[in-house]
Amino acid sequence: MKSVLPVKMLSALALVLLVSSATEGRILSKCELKAELEAAQIKMKPFNPHSSEPEIQRPVRQLYGVFQLSDQLACDSGMMPSLNVCKMSCSALIDDDITDDIACLKTMIDSM
C-alpha cells in the first residue's frame, strides 16, 4: 500500500505540470480584471465613439493588447509613425503579462 501513494502523487504532479504547460494565457473574470485595474488606480473615463466630426480617410492603425491600444498613440509598431506615449514596443502589449498593458493604459489616461 505504501508504494501506491507516491505513484498517485507523482501522477497528480505530472498531470498538473502537463496542464500548466499546455496553457497559452491567463483567463481573467470581469471581477478579477476590475480588481487589477482598481489596484493600478485606473479610472475609466466615458468615451463617445460617435462624434459629430465628419469622417475623413485615415491610415489603417493596429490595436494591441487587452485594452486595444492604438499604435498611433500608445506604442511603436515599427510600421507607421507613432506618438508612442507609453515609450514601448507594441509587441510588449501582446504577451501574457498584462501589467505593462495596465501601466500603458494609465499613462494614456493621465496624458489626456
Give the C-alpha separation, 11 to 3, whole Å.
Answer: 13
Alpha carbon separation from 24 to 19, 20, 29, 49, 112 (Å, rounded): 10, 9, 16, 32, 34
pLDDT digits over 12-44, tens only? 666 555 555 444 567 778 788 878 877 877 665
Bigger pLDDT: 39 vs 108: 108
The pLDDT assigned to 9 comes to 60
Flag whether the pTM goes above 0.95: no
Average pLDDT over residues 49-78: 80
Percent of the chain exceeding pLDDT 70 equals 62
Q: Say how far apart CA 97 and CA 101 lie, in whole Å.
A: 8
Domains identified in the chain and CATH numbers: 29-42+61-112 (1.10.530.10)
Most trustworthy range by pLDDT among 3-7, 25-29, 33-37, 105-109: 105-109
- Nearest CA to 101 out of 48, 36, 45 is that of 36
- Of the candidates 38, 21, 31, 25, the residue with the CA atom closest to the CA atom of residue 66: 25
pLDDT of res. 56: 64
